[in-house]
Structure 1
Amino acid sequence: MIYKVYYQESLSEVPVREKTKTMFVKSDSVLNVRRSLKDRNLNIEYIGTVEGAYMDYEKENEDFKVLEL
């Protein structure tokens, strides 16, 4: 499954929408995504699944890259 992770680069900053970044991660569960990203010190706001028409839309973006953790 592909997950879209919304995050802030610093744990010490308050989340601000304009500074939110995203990444796509291939994993078998949300828990494994969180475990895999734990050592990166990211402030994870939300992790959602990407599938169907939403996946097709995201693939059109030139920055679409999937991390396999």
Structure 2
Amino acid sequence: MIFKVYYQESINQVPVREKTKVLYIEGESVRDVRTKIADRGFNVEFVQAVKGAYLEYEQQNEDYKVLEI
């Protein structure tokens, strides 16, 4: 399943909408995704499962790339 992760680049950064970044990652669950990116030092705001029509919509975005870990 594909998950959309909203994050700040630094664990010390306060979440601000204008500085929030997004990455897509494949995983089995939210916990699995958080475990995979735990060593990167991100301040993870939210992890959301992406499927169906929402996934198709996201795939049309030019910035759509699935991170493989």
Q: Over aligned residues, Cα RMSD in angstroms? A: 0.7
SS in 2 for 1:28: coil
Q: How far apart, in 2, do the equivalents of 1:56 and 1:6 lie?
A: 18
Residues paired across the two proteins, number:
69
Q: Counterpart in 1 of 2:2?
A: 2
SS in 1 for 2:28: coil
For 1:62, the aligned partner's letter is: E
- Tell me the TM-score normalized by structure 1: 0.95
Contact persistence 1:27–1:68 (CA under 8 A): no
Structure 2: give runs of 5+ residues left out of the alignment: none
Contact persistence 1:9–1:43 (CA under 8 A): yes
Structure 1: give runs of 5+ residues left out of the alignment: none
Matched, 1:18 2:18: yes
Q: How far apart, in 2, do the equivalents of 1:46 and 1:14 lie?
A: 14
1:13 CA displacement: 1.4
For 2:34, the aligned partner's letter is: R
1:11 CA displacement: 0.8
Q: Counterpart in 2 of 1:34?
A: 34
Identical residues among aligned pairs (%): 55
- Tell me the TM-score normalized by structure 2: 0.95
